[in-house]
């Protein structure tokens, strides 16, 4: 598993262990938190690319393509 994804999974696991009992409720809390953490990181990457696009005068295609590649690279997706 990609190192960054593993760190997010660990954070979600700690959150679930602290906030819910073991069992199905724990697993649902873990899944929801894990998804939330991934989405937050994607949002932050897109936001950073938006700021660069504005500063450097990129067009929408350049900004979105760069964001896609940055997200893939961030999470080690090929």
pLDDT surpasses 80 at 78: no
For residue 16, pLDDT beyond 80: yes
Q: Is the pLDDT of residue 58 over 90?
A: no
- Across the chain, mean pLDDT equals 91
Candidate from 15-19, 61-65, 68-72 with smallest mean pLDDT = 61-65
Question: Both tokens of residue 17?
Answer: 């262990």
* pLDDT for 1: 63
In the block, tokens 């696991």 appear at 13
Containing structural domain, residue 54: 3-75
Predicted TM-score (pTM) above 0.85: no
30 conformational bin, left if phi > 0, alpha if psi -120 to 50, beta if neither: alpha
Whether 45 contacts 66, CB under 8 Å: no
**Total domains in the fold of the chain:** 1
CA 34: distance to chain centroid?
A: 9
């Amino acid at each position: 598993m990609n190192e960054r994804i593993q760190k997010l999974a660990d954070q979600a696991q700690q959150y679930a262990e602290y906030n819910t009992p073991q069992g199905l409720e724990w697993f649902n809390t873990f899944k929801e938190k894990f998804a939330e953490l991934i989405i937050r990181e994607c949002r932050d990457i897109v936001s950073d690319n938006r700021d660069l696009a504005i500063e450097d005068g990129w067009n929408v295609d350049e900004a979105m393509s760069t964001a896609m590649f940055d997200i893939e690279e961030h999470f080690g997706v090929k």
